[in-house]
Amino acid sequence: MMPNPTFGWLAIVRLGLVQTALGAVVVLMTSTINRVMVVELALPAIVPGGLIALHYAVQVLRPRWGYGSDRTGRRTPWIVGGMAALTLGGFGAAVATALAETHQAAGLALAVVSFLTVGMGAGAAGTSLLVLLATGVDARRRGAAATVVWVMMIAGFAITAPLAGHFLDPFSGDRLIAVSGTVSLLAFAMAVLALRGVEPAKGSSGGTEAAEKRPFREVLARVWAEPESRRFTIFIFMAMLAYSAQELILEPFAGLVFAMTPGVTTKLAGLQHGGVLAGMLTVAGLTMGLGGPVLGSLKVWTTLGCLGSALALLAIAAGGLAGADFPLRVPVFALGLFNGIFAVAAIGSMMALAGAGGEAERGTRMGVWGAAQGVAFGAGGFLGTVAVDLARLVTPRVVDAYASVFAAEALLFLFAAALALRIAHAPMTQAPATQVPRGRRQQLSFETSLSTR
């Protein structure tokens, strides 16, 4: 473990490459294999949907992976092990899909195992990667570092999907296996090379010895007993639920209410994603370039992102009620912009708060937040579509159903903003060594309260 932040921009970019590798494997699962199962294999959409849900559901194990890295005091082996599981699971999913063409039951059984393996691998690698960043990145760079790793993960999506699509034509099961195997092998090799030498060979035993003396359940209970950690967990869950709930309903809304063609709605989604990137870069640039107690505060940006997202969703809902002449592109871009601001600021805040209650539980704490994020993200898309279907049962107009769901998502963001204001974020500069950090004072109070139970 690193007692002082040591990572320069080269190290941050190298860790971003691990996220690129992770994204390259995951995108084949959520897009290519999803499409093959529905179109080429003519399976019901619920089959790949359920498999992807399994990948998200297994994220509840993230606290256990974080605890494991706390015990060893090393993050790199857990990242490498997670990437190994992720890439093997990704390759296994391709084999399972090809097998399902001739032996459907066997193929689907292998697919279940493979998607579970992907979920566990992504959880183990992603959790320890964020903990490594949180340990080694200077406080002033956290927003920019979060932007780098997030954008590089998106780059993994953007590069892999079209390349894989090119080599998959004309489609066959053997081609799918070959393409997936190549992507998995290259992704694992890139991750291992990127990680080499980033983390110091030996860590200080500081918090690790304490973690080794306590079982997982006790450490998890300690983390959940911390008011700040519990509040931040609820914040992450609520905000990510709202963040993901609009993903599967925005394009259908634009098509049904504004009579947009599939091509136009796809461009609309691209505009939203462009806004996300702009929001991320805005936070990175202003926290690094201007700083100060306001513009340098991740807490301010997190709250602003949630509030702005809520207002954009309300504008989209009002636009549907206003009619087809409403300039929908404006609030959609604003939604992406504030989503990007919220997302990168929340990740930076997660990195800042990871060690606030004690270094020995840093990985477990990050795992709890990662589990909340993963489960909320998986549930959000599903619940958004269910909410629209239920609303359409009680209202005669389609626009009223969508508007009510967008308004409900806005309320979730407003609730998240209220929680963000109550979270005591770490300062953007390191505290003097002679002071007792606020997090340590909290830890002492937690220990006292636990000892009296």
The pair of structure tokens assigned to 405 is 């769901």
Q: Contact, 57 vs 378, CB < 8 A?
A: yes
- Average pLDDT estimate for 204-214: 50
- Residues 6 or more apart whose CB falls under 8 angstroms from that of 125 comprise 18, 22, 78, 79, 80, 81, 82, 83, 86, 191
Q: Are 65 and 129 in contact (CB under 8 A)?
A: no
Top-confidence residue, 245 or 436 = 245
Q: Is residue 417 over pLDDT 90?
A: yes
Which residue type occupies 4?
Answer: N
Q: Could you tell me which of 234, 228, 226 has the C-alpha nearest to residue 422?
A: 228
pLDDT above 70 for 198: yes
Least confident of 152-166, 167-181, 207-221, 389-403: 207-221
231: exposed, middle or buried (Cβ count in 10 Å: 0-12, 13-18, 19+): middle
Please give the pLDDT value at position 52.
Answer: 86
Instruction: Give the model confidence (pLDDT) of 125-161 as tens digits.
Output: 999 998 898 888 887 777 788 888 888 888 888 788 7
Q: What is the CATH number of domain 214-453?
A: 1.20.1250.20
Per-residue pLDDT, 73? 80
pLDDT in tens, 373-410: 888 988 888 888 889 889 999 988 999 999 999 999 99
In tens, the pLDDT along 50-92 reads: 888 888 889 899 999 898 888 888 899 999 999 999 999 999 9
Nearest to 29 by CA among 128, 148, 122, 150: 122
Q: Write down the pLDDT at residue 300.
A: 86
Q: Is the pLDDT of residue 163 over 60?
A: yes
Does the pLDDT value for residue 298 go beyond 70?
yes
Q: Please determine, for residue 449, whether its predicted confidence score (pLDDT) is greater than 60.
A: no
Give the chain as a 3 state SS string: CCCCCCCCHHHHHHHHHHHHHHHHHHHHHHHHHHHHHHCCCCCCCHHHHHHHHHHHHHHHHHHHHHHHHHHHCCCHHHHHHHHHHHHHHHHHHHHHHHHCCCCHHHHHHHHHHHHHHHHHHHHHHHHHHHHHHHHHCCHHHHHHHHHHHHHHHHHHHHHHHHHHHHHHCCCCHHHHHHHHHHHHHHHHHHHHHHHCCCCCCCCCCCCHHHHHCCCHHHHHHHHHHCHHHHHHHHHHHHHHHHHHHCCCCHHHHHHHHHCCCHHHHHHHHHHHHHHHHHHHHHHHHHHHHCCCCCCCCHHHHHHHHHHHHHHHHHHHHHHHHHCCCCCCHHHHHHHHHHHHHHHHHHHHHHHHHCCCCCHHHHHHHHHHHHHHHHHHHHHHHHHHHHHHHHHHHHCCCHHHHHHHHHHHHHHHHHHHHHHHHHCCCCCCCCCCCCCCCHHHHHHHHHHHHHHCC
Mean pLDDT of 170-176: 90
CA nearest 131: which of 21, 236, 2, 14? 2
Fold of 1-206: Growth Hormone; Chain: A; (1.20.1250)
The pLDDT tens digits for 336-352 are 999 999 888 888 888 87
211/124: higher pLDDT: 124
Give the pLDDT of residue 240: 92
**Would you list the domain boundaries of the chain?**
1-206, 214-453
The number of C-alpha atoms within 13 Å of 25 and in the hemisphere containing its C-beta is 36
pTM of the predicted model over 0.95 = no
Q: How far apart are CA 34 and CA 425, in angstroms?
A: 39
| C-beta of residue 344 within 8 angstroms of C-beta of residue 279 | yes
| Contact call for residues 426 and 345 (beta carbons, < 8 A) | no
What does the mean pLDDT of the chain come to? 83
Among residues of the chain, what percentage have pLDDT more than 90? 38
